[in-house]
Amino acid sequence: MTESLATPNATGIHDTEVEHIFGLTGPLSASIKGYRPRQAQTEMAKAIADAIAGQKTLLAEAGTGTGKTYAYLTPALLWGGKVIVSTGTKNLQDQLFLRDIPTIRKVLKAPVSIALLKGRANYLCHYHLERTIQNGRLSSREDVGYLRDIGRFIKTTMTGDKAELSRVPENASVWSLVTSTKDTCMGSECQYYQDCFVMKARKEAQQADVVVVNHHLFFADVALKDTGIAELLPSANTVIFDEAHQLPETATLFFGDTVSTSQVLELCRDVQAEGLSHARDGAEWSKLVAPVERAARDLRLAFPQDIVRYSIDQIAPSSPFFEALDALKASMDDMIAVLEKQAERAETLEQCRARAILLAEQYEKWNATDDGKSGDYVLWVEAFSTSLQLHRTPLSIAPIFNKQREGVPRTWIFTSATMAVKNDFSHYVSQMGLWDQPARTWPSPFNYQEQGFLYVPNGMPQPNSFGYMDAVIDAALPVIEAAGGKTFLLCTTLKAVKHSAERLRDEFQKRGLDFPLFVHGDAGRTELLDRFRAAGNGVLIGSQSFWEGVDVRGDALSLVIIDKLPFAPPDDPVLSARIAAMEKKGLNGFVHHQLPEAIINLKQGAGRLIRDEGDKGVLMICDPRLISKPYGKRIWQSLPSFARTRELADVQAFFQKIKTPPESA
């Protein structure tokens, strides 16, 4: 076990009990099939018990296979008091609530109540469902079928959680019509308030001992006060962030401010509909919203390109953008003036008025320079095919997050498989403002030397050269063939995903290779993974969302290929501003920010390969900079300690050795 920064004050208050629970004759061994004691898991549980006893903060990095979930749940359920567990994804949130916490609670016979709390967009809204059924404004026959399913579901569900209705896809457009937002919720004025699923979920969370949330929800509350966490946090004794490596990005998202032209267009649609329904004689509604819609579209068209990002400094003063922004503000003021006069005629019109004022304030605030804090934020725009987003992003979340941690003493646990770079937490600590807090690392129990190879092929061109992705596919094909499919190809861009899919489809056909191909974007992540596991010899091509939180154990995955080192694009406006700020302080932006970020990201991608003590496989990183650049050594030393090779023959021999005969039908 390695330690860095400060070492926790080991009071040992619960050590004997922890050792018994996790030991050979303890309740975990007796109750959980296949459970084996692991020293790293026991030591981690002791450190967390110690932090809980002393109401301290602890950064706990645990390698894949340590069993960190049980290591933090056991002390939390026994000694944590009121506990909030926050996870990186809704999938992990469901897994904790439905499987992991009930298992530990049963094993420990811990008399704790559990609640699951998600953002309001996950819960059906009685009012909006009824309104959508009455209006019948659906764009496709598919949505009509989904709406029928939802109408039946609301009569039987206890929670209203859309995750329970799996036959309606999570990204179906109909969901936005049958759920509420903070802006469109009627609150206690609603006729369905007593039956409201959001309110029920919040009430249960108030009363429960353990509440499972996700990072988006946690930080949305800090920014918007709209998730129920604000009421929960004062009574919480222990807050645990699992997949804590995601916190800097999630917190940045919510501590900043974003406003989009699509919000304006949605508002115009609602103003027209509600005006015609409740105040037809109050204004010429279509003429009122038309200039606002036109101004919003003109703002988007100020950037003719698709999918671009610019900081405000990169936009020329003569750009039509600034004129279009002023026109939008002026036309919104005109619309608000009419809504002020008509709002009292209906609750929904009052809502439209409140939304319009809030949006106008966001547009006004975006590039206002009189708040004295503009230097702490990065102002930038992001153009999508049909909308433009204006972002105001903090340069650092550390001071804001630290403010949230002030006040009532409580335990804060930050845990992940990837927070440190070669056992050094300084990058994460500086991002989160967790200076002088104890940080510990427990290595994975897996025998990486025996279980896998790190393969960096010879003769690869530089990643910025023309035809690089073709070189990646050429190098990957013989390895995919040797592995018998069973491959993840993890790409750093969606463009690379698309190109790789086209090339592999052609090559598999030419070579007569019968490997099913699963491509990011063709279906939802969960569905693609299920199909990949079921195929047994598939090749899955994915970008960022497949680099983490994906668990394929056993024979279905034997090869993970990474196209290039995952450095953030240097033209990213927030990254550029952060590097400039660091360099003003005499730090090196690449060494102190870009490199550690890339290493943590790469560790996540590499972590997809070996998920179990019986797994074997090859991690293939195609980027030659891993060998040729001085920083390459720092990168591969942070990865699991695989045997290393540059020879294709070694990899082919390895796969030959681990191949097992196919099972008889």
Using an 8 Å Cβ cutoff, are 117 and 211 in contact? Answer: yes
The larger pLDDT score, comparing residue 414 to residue 11, is at 414
Q: Which of 414, 382, 365, 377 is closest to 262 using CA atoms? A: 382
Query: How is 576-612 classified by DSSP, letter by letter?
Result: HHHHHHHHHTT--HIIIIIHHHHHHHHHHHHTTS--S
Position 13 scores a pLDDT of 63
The pLDDT assigned to 7 comes to 36
3-class DSSP string for 5-45 = EECCCCCCCCHHHHHHHHCCCCHHHHHCCCCCCCHHHHHHH
| Residue type present at position 200 | K
pLDDT band at residue 10 using 50, 70 and 90 as cut-offs = very low
pLDDT score, position 1: 38
> For 199-233, how does the pLDDT look when each residue is reduced to its tens digit (9 = 90+)?
999 999 999 999 999 998 888 776 655 555 667 77
Sketch out the chain's domains with CATH numbers: 2-119+200-254+396-442 (3.40.50.300), 120-195 (no CATH), 256-394 (1.10.275), 448-658 (3.40.50.300)
Determine the pLDDT at residue 407.
79
Average pLDDT for the chain: 91
Lowest mean pLDDT among 126-135, 433-442, 472-481: 126-135
pTM, two decimal places: 0.88
Rounded alpha-carbon distances, angstroms, from residue 309 to 306, 330, 533, 575: 10, 25, 37, 12
pLDDT value of residue 413: 98
The alpha-helical segments, DSSP class H, found in 384-467 are 398-405, 426-432, 448-451
The answer to whether residue 268 scores a pLDDT higher than 80 is: yes
Q: What residues contact 135, with CB distance under 8 A and at least 6 apart?
A: none
Q: Which pLDDT score, from 0 to 100, does residue 521 have?
A: 87
Q: What is the pLDDT of residue 371?
A: 46
* pLDDT confidence of residue 223: 61
**CA pair distance 240, 84, nearest whole angstrom:** 6
Q: Which of 420, 549, 413, 583 is nearest to 72 (CA)?
A: 413
Instruction: Quote the tokens at residue 332.
Output: 């919104």
Taking only the tens place, the pLDDT of each residue in 300-320 is 999 988 778 999 988 999 999
Average pLDDT over residues 251-259: 88
Closest residue by Cα to residue 275 from 174, 178, 183, 356? 356
pLDDT of residue 199: 92
Find the radius of gyration of the CA atoms of the chain.
27
Helices 68-79 and 101-108 cross at an angle (nearest 10°) of 50
What DSSP string runs through 173-208? Answer: TTHHHHS--TTT--GGGSTTGGG-HHHHHHHHHHH-
- Residue for token pair 């929960």: 232
CA distance 104 to 507: 48
State residue 31's pLDDT score.
Answer: 93
Q: Quick one: pLDDT at residue 664? A: 41
CA distance 166 to 170: 8
Q: 355-387, pLDDT tens digit by residue?
A: 999 999 999 989 876 444 456 889 999 999 889
β 617-621/452-455 pair status: parallel
* pLDDT higher than 60, residue 9: no
Phi/psi for 228 (5° steps) reads: 90, -10
Assign 238 to helix, strand or coil: strand
Sheet strand arrangement including 57-62: 2-5, 438-442, 57-62, 411-416, 238-241, 83-87, 210-214, 114-116
> Is residue 112 a contact partner of residue 142, using CB atoms and an 8 Å limit?
no
Tokens 């898991």, located at residue: 41
How far is 62 from 2, CA to CA, in rounded Å? Answer: 11
Phi, psi (deg, nearest 5) at residue 547: -80, -20
Structure tokens at 651: 């990899």
| pLDDT for position 230 | 65
In the 8-state DSSP scheme, what is residue 662? Answer: P
DSSP, residue by residue, 632-653: HHHHHHHS---EEE--HHHHHH
Q: What is the pLDDT of residue 370?
A: 47
In this predicted model, what pLDDT tens digit does every residue of 39-52 receive, in sequence order? 999 999 999 999 99
pLDDT digits (tens, 9 = 90+) for 499-546: 999 999 999 999 999 999 999 988 878 889 999 999 999 999 999 889
* pLDDT digits 0-9 by tens, 596-622: 999 999 999 999 999 999 999 999 999
Mean pLDDT, to the nearest integer, of 439-455?
96
pLDDT recorded at residue 225: 57
- Residue 5: pLDDT over 80: no
Query: Which residues, at least 6 apart from 459, have a Cβ–Cβ distance to it below 8 Å?
Result: none
Name residue 86's beta-bridge partners: 213, 241
- Confidence band for 170, pLDDT divided at 50, 70 and 90: confident
pLDDT of residue 374: 53
Token reading at 36? 């084996």
Residue linked to tokens 């279906």: 523
pLDDT in tens, 49-104: 999 999 999 999 999 999 999 999 999 999 999 999 999 988 889 899 999 999 99
* Cα 23 from Cα 386, distance rounded (Å): 58
Confidence tier at 240 by pLDDT (50, 70, 90): very high
Nearest to 357 by CA among 294, 448, 271, 285: 271
Place of tokens 């966490």: 229
Q: What average pLDDT does the segment 246-261 reach?
A: 90
Q: What is the pLDDT of residues 20-32, one digit of tens each?
A: 999 999 999 999 9
Quick check: 2 pLDDT over 50? no
Angle at 79 between CA 78 and CA 81, to 5 degrees: 110
